[in-house]
């Protein structure tokens, strides 16, 4: 069997997916229309033109604007269900889904509206498609620590539905240290900590995520490659890295997929996984991320099997549930 044949059918897990980043233009148009909200695109062609990014901030501005049309519980359900339908097509059997409550509560949408819509889709996906999922509530790092604390408070009635807390949005100038106290408090509430680090920011931010936020997994982490000591530590401590190849090229953190460091990271012994990040914006869901890497980096069947294995091994499933997939 070739690596390409293998990846298309094998059961796999996705560990780095922003649900707001799976918002396809067609669904965005439909929800905008029913909620009577103006969006700056008349056609899919306009959308494609707008989705040309030169860095993370460029993308975030458009991503937050897109999320503006999500108002009702049904909107969050539709958004999440569309992602699960794609998972079912690709045989993604486990997904750890990030959501950004502040993107919505800042606009006056209740926390409960967001999570109830997502939760209803999770339950249906489990029943209809046999897809398991976990939720990662991500704090927006361009906002204040106080704001993150408020979000933590709002989440507490729904603690049983949320596995982990994360840290996303504009990385540069918003180091993990800014959120040390809210992560401490989140851990006390029982949340598992993760954070985006080393996507655009320096290796120093990865050290901070490890030492100050006590993270159990790093989102992206590519920039650890500038620091051999850090690479050694990540290997030794078996820290999972959720790498997002098509995101990295779309946001110009990597100039071309042929130069993506995924294979190098694997060769160094890093616990890398492949993920789609914001697939509606970056040109591909999970399987396409694998396919692009297999083709550009000439990954072997063995290497792809290892990546898939990592996707379960470094998930937050219980050891017992992992066994079902490994
Ligand atoms: N990086 C940081 N924040 C984000 C991203 C990302 O790729 N997607 C959604 N929020
Ligand atoms: Zn991300």
- pLDDT tens-digit profile of 220-274? 999 999 999 999 999 999 999 999 999 999 999 999 999 999 999 999 999 999 9
Q: How far apart are CA 324 and CA 99, in angstroms?
A: 26
Q: List, for residues 310-323, the tens digit of each pLDDT value.
A: 999 999 999 999 99
Looking at every residue in the chain, the average pLDDT score rounds to 98
Distance CA 12, CA 20 (A): 21
pLDDT for position 223: 98
Residue 324 lies in a domain: no
Q: Is the ipTM of this complex over 0.85?
A: yes
List the domain range (segments joined by +) for residue 35.
3-314
Annotated binding site for substrate: 278
Residues carrying an active site annotation: 199
Q: Which ligand is nearest to the CA of 167?
A: 1
Asked whether residue 227 is domain-assigned, the answer is: yes
Percent of the chain past pLDDT 90, that is, above it, reads: 99
Domain count, the chain: 1
End-to-end CA distance of the chain: 19
- Kindly report the protein residue whose alpha carbon is nearest to atom 3 of ligand 1: 169
pLDDT tens, position by position, 261-309: 999 999 999 999 999 999 999 999 999 999 999 999 999 999 999 999 9
Q: Of all protein residues, whose CA lies closest to atom 4 belonging to ligand 1?
A: 169
Distance, CA of 147 to CA of 277 (rounded, Å)? 24
In this structure, are residues 265 and 306 in contact, taking their beta carbons and an 8 Å threshold? no
CA of 93 relative to ligand 2 center, distance in Å = 20
Is the pLDDT at 84 greater than 90? The verdict is: yes
Query: What's the whole-number mean pLDDT along residues 182-188?
Result: 99
Structure confidence at residue 36 (pLDDT): 98
Q: Who lines ligand 1 at CB under 6 A?
A: 18, 21, 56, 63, 168-169, 196, 199, 247, 277-278
CATH of the domain at 195: 3.20.20.140
Is the distance from CB of 233 to CB of 255 less than 8 angstroms?
no
**Is residue 218 situated within a structural domain?**
yes
Distance from the CA of 112 to the center of ligand 1, in angstroms? Answer: 23
Q: What is the pLDDT of residue 326?
A: 86
Residue 63 in any domain: the answer is yes
To test the pocket of ligand 1, the residue of 15, 17, 20, 21 to mutate (highest count of ligand atoms within 8 Å of its CB) is 21
Q: State the virtual CA torsion across 246, 217, 99, 293 in degrees, nearest 10.
A: 10
pLDDT attached to residue 148: 99
pLDDT at position 92 over 90? yes
CA of 144 to the centre of ligand 1 (A): 17
Point out the annotated binding site for Zn(2+).
16, 18, 196, 277
Give residue 104's pLDDT band: very low, low, confident or very high (50, 70, 90). Answer: very high
Reply yes or no on whether the pLDDT at 132 is more than 90.
Answer: yes
The answer to whether position 325 is within a domain reads: no
In a domain, 298, yes or no: yes
Distance of CA 151 to the CA centre of its chain: 19
- Residue 322 within a domain: no
Residues in binding site: 16, 18, 196, 277-278
How many whole angstroms from 29 Cα to the centroid of ligand 2? 24
| Within a domain: 75 | yes
| Ligand 1 probe mutation, 62, 196, 201, most atoms within 8 A of CB | 196
Give the ligand at the shortest distance from the Cα of 275: 2
Query: Residue 198: which of 287, 265, 284 has the closest Cα?
Result: 265
């Amino acid at each position: 069997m070739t690596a390409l044949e293998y990846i298309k059918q094998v059961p796999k897990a996705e560990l780095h997916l922003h649900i707001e980043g799976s918002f396809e233009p067609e669904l965005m148009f439909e929800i905008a229309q029913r909620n009577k909200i103006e969006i700056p695109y008349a056609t899919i062609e306009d959308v494609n033109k707008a989705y040309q990014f030169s860095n993370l901030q460029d993308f975030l501005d458009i991503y937050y604007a897109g999320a503006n049309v999500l108002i009702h519980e049904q909107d969050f359900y539709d958004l999440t269900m569309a992602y699960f339908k794609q998972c079912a097509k690709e045989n993604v059997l486990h997904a750890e889904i990030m959501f950004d409550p502040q993107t919505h509560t800042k606009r006056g949408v209740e926390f409960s509206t967001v999570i109830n819509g997502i939760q209803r889709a999770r339950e249906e996906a489990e029943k209809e498609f046999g897809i398991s999922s976990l939720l990662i509530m991500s704090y927006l790092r361009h906002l204040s620590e106080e704001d993150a604390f408020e979000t933590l408070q709002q989440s507490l009635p729904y603690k049983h539905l949320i596995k982990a807390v994360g840290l996303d949005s504009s990385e540069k100038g918003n180091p993990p240290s800014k959120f040390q106290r809210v992560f401490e408090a989140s851990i006390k509430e029982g949340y598992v900590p993760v954070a985006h680090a080393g996507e655009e920011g320096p290796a120093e931010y990865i050290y901070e995520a490890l030492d100050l936020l006590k993270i159990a997994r790093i989102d992206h982490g590519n920039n650890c490659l500038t620091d051999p000591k850090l690479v050694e530590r990540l290997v030794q401590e078996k820290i999972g890295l959720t790498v997002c190849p098509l995101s990295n090229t779309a946001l110009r953190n990597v100039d071309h997929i042929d130069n993506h460091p995924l294979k190098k990271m694997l060769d160094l012994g890093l616990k890398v996984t492949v993920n789609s990040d914001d697939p509606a914006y970056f040109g591909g869901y999970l399987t396409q991320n694998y396919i692009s890497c297999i083709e550009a980096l000439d990954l072997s069947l063995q290497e792809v099997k290892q990546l898939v294995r990592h996707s379960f091994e470094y998930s937050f499933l219980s050891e017992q549930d992992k066994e079902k997939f490994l």
